[in-house]
Copies of this chain bind each other. A is one copy, B any other.
Amino acid sequence: MENSGACQGLTRPIRCIVKLGGAAITCKNELEKINEENLGTVSSQLRQAMSSGPDSQKILGMDWSKRPGESELCCDVGGFYDQISCDSSNFVVVHGAGSFGHFQASKSGVHKGGLDKSLVKAGFVATRISVTTLNLEIVRALAAAGIPSVGMSPFSCGWLTSERNLESADLSMVVKAIESGFVPVLHGDAVLDSQLVTVTEEGSWSVVKPNYGSTNKPVEITVAAHDTTGGMVTKIAEAAMIAKLGIDVYIVKAATSHSQRALSGEIRRGSIPDDWLGTVIKFAGKPAQH
């Protein structure tokens, strides 16, 4: 999505917030399994979209940690001395949970609240372990592709909900990270809910989240039993609310030539080409105050 306005505290506006769907980066039907191929393609496409340097510049990985079972690590420090400083272009990456987290959340009913129950408390802990495991893997994949990514958990950032609606989201640290040239990587997380004296699962990142209870569903859509984030109905409703702020939303299949073209800015500049597959949500009226 494109941000036409300036975010408070930023000297340059955010160029793009990329939400990676959980189903795109994980194998949704296999518990806690990452779709390595898609993730690699997505990381590479993002790196190209963010990079302002020449395409021929050598990609220098920023993940210098060992992989489980491996004794060696990859760290080409020397290469960085000749490197033109990578401009991260004010990107933010957000990702869903896919086959991480949902199992733990639905098993314990953590999204229904009730932290006084042992099972719900355990489910909260288990859910956070699962989604932060995924976040770390995404951060590592992006860093390996040369993106200066830093993981930021909404729970640790102090985001709170009130009856499942986002009550407060402290963006100050996200802004500071962007200003310092990093790409914050946020994710669907379990966060505390002030009203239910309980917990709720934030399945997606959005400034205003519609209340499930008051949503008028015009069509019946089947949501997988383990999907505690509301499925596509919620996602489309959120996209519409973002568009109302004057921020265009592009929905496109990840790791395809279509996502690459959307990231490159080609779709934004002119009319939508006939051979491009995707959905663009724009607001036709006057943008709401933001």
Contact = CB atoms under 8 A, between A and B. Distances in A.
Interface of A: 31-32, 60, 62-66, 68-69, 73, 75, 77, 80-81, 83-86, 100, 103-104, 107-108, 115-119, 121-122, 124-126, 128-130, 132-133, 136, 139-140, 143, 148-153, 155-158, 160, 170, 172-173, 176-177, 180-182, 192, 199
Contacts of A73: 31-32
A181 to B, nearest CB: 6
A55 to B, nearest CB: 17
A75 B107 contact: yes
A145 to B, nearest CB: 11
Contacts of A152: 153, 155-156
B121 A143 contact: no
Contacts of A84: 118
Stoichiometry (number of copies):
2
Cβ-closest 6 pairs across A and B: A80-B119, A156-B156, A68-B68, A64-B126, A62-B125, A158-B173
A290 B70 CA distance: 47
A153 B192 CA distance: 17
Contacts of A116: 85
Nearest to A173: B158
A56 to B, nearest CB: 16
